[in-house]
Amino acid sequence: MRSLSIVVAITGASGAIYGARFVRALAALTTGQSRLIVSPTALRVYNEEYGTKIETPAQYLEAALGDSKGSQSFVLDDFRDVGGKPASGSTPSDGMVIVPCSMKTLAAIAHGYTTNLIERGADVCLKERRRLVVVPRESPYSLIHLRNMTSLTEAGGIVLPASPGFYQRPQNLEDLGDFIAGRILGLFGVPHQLFKAWLTDS
């Protein structure tokens, strides 16, 4: 099993299922100790989309993991704590994923204007030349959104849009979430069977 220790951040864009399915897949398919930061708005959007009343990041983690068992563990970091471990380049990490990523968090990262631990953690990733994957969600995009994605890409980040493919014939929402989760894991070199590679048998 691949060892991977990353910072996972969940922000308040629509598409809570993408973050939840990624956390679940990371737990099931990797070993290591990752960190999880959940913004207050991410909790609000999760509740809107799942019809739940989750109030804390710990409850979010429990809900996202479900019955998923694995050897990946998660340390919860406080969104407001700009002095938390991911705020420093001296904390070792294999990179960071923001899924889903709001246009507000994208803008903060693209402009180096960090006011919470998610934005600061992403800023650290870029300056340390570590892998940073953001999964933005908005529709349509304004020119500002597009420019921010360009800036982030130019700075070394990877924009992985919340745009699942349909050629895999998804049967339910979880399949759509797993498509994006698999794409993210692929960028970190994690083998998975969350969807079939194109033109493979059965």
Ligand X SMILES: Cc1cc2nc3c(=O)[nH]c(=O)nc-3n(C[C@H](O)[C@H](O)[C@H](O)COP(=O)(O)O)c2cc1C
- Which parts of this chain interact with ligand X (CB under 6 A)? 11-14, 39, 41-42, 44-45, 48, 102-105, 137-138
10 Å Cβ neighbour count for 170? 16
Cβ at position 105, least distance to ligand X in Å: 4
Cβ proximity to ligand X, 28 vs 87, nearer residue: 87
Cβ proximity to ligand X, 28 vs 157, nearer residue: 157
Cβ proximity to ligand X, 12 vs 164, nearer residue: 12
Cβ proximity to ligand X, 13 vs 54, nearer residue: 13
Give 172's DSSP letter: S
Cβ at position 124, least distance to ligand X in Å: 17
Cβ at position 100, least distance to ligand X in Å: 7
**DSSP per-residue codes, 64-94:** HHTT---EEEEEEE-TT-TTSGGGSTTS--S
Rounded alpha-carbon distances, angstroms, from residue 101 to 12, 22, 34, 39, 190: 7, 13, 18, 10, 21
